[in-house]
Amino acid sequence: MRVALLLTATIVGTLFANPSNAGSLDVASADAAKSLPPGFQSYRGYMFDVSENSDRKDVDKLTENLKQQIDVVEGAGFSPRVLRFFRTVPIVASELACLDEGAATACYGRVTPDTPRTTPRTLTVWDHDKQRWTNPNAVDLAVDSGLGVIMIRPDMMRYEKEAVLLHEMLHAYHARLLPDGYANKGVIGYYAYAKSKDFLPKEAYALKNHVEFFAVTASIFLAGKSEFHDPKTREALKEKMPDYYKYLVGVFGFDPDPAAASGGPVASLK
């Protein structure tokens, strides 16, 4: 589960460039729902495409697993506003995705899915009246605007107990919603501190870079555990990095620990 940072889009997007543009999320989400690209399905407002895998015997299982992954994201405690943002991120299942570095089971970035087109690619244009980029094709819009696309591989089914999609959505959250995106000073600072100490094994995936550090730890913070990635549990995260744990409470607006005084998720925005 690494981040694909293939910046090949020809238009520098501003739609989700920083939190000050977050008011566009509602409109973008509605537009995405109206304009599902060919082959896409919708579940709980999320758009995903498994059509490339239609001739596989396990395509129904793949679809069901993906829906379960969406349920995990929906139940993680994010505010309605953040969930509306997540629903604008296209999800594409492709057997040959995410293979440029290792063999990740999922990846996020400005990557144009290599899928057959029945019509020419539609150009993303700036709508002066609405003050935002527009494109009738939600995938092309996501690539061109910088929103990004989540690619998953069918082998994700091997990790059905792991919050794979949540991990990738947290990459999108980091890139598009945190101040300064991947250059966010808070995340970089806590990553550097964790790497300088013995909080995690040196080979831990969370120490690969600050982007994976946030996705791994925030996923454990929200979902409660990971079978594959240290620190494995929310309790261990809190014990090993208490200051960073408090930082995550501040970022997401609540402490997901059932014993926390906050009593659970508190939506920051409606």
Tell me the whole-structure pTM to 2 decimals. Answer: 0.84
Nearest-angstrom CA–CA distance, 113 and 230:
31
pLDDT per residue as tens digits for the range 189-246:
999 999 999 899 999 999 999 999 999 999 999 999 999 999 999 999 999 999 999 9
Does the structure show a pLDDT above 60 at 21?
Answer: no
Q: Is the pLDDT of residue 16 over 50?
A: no
Please report, for the chain, the start and end positions of each structural domain, with discontinuous segments joined by +: 2-176, 183-252
Q: pLDDT, tens digit, for every residue of 138-163? A: 888 898 888 999 999 998 888 888 99
Average pLDDT of every residue of the chain: 84
45-63 pLDDT per residue, tens: 999 999 999 999 999 999 9
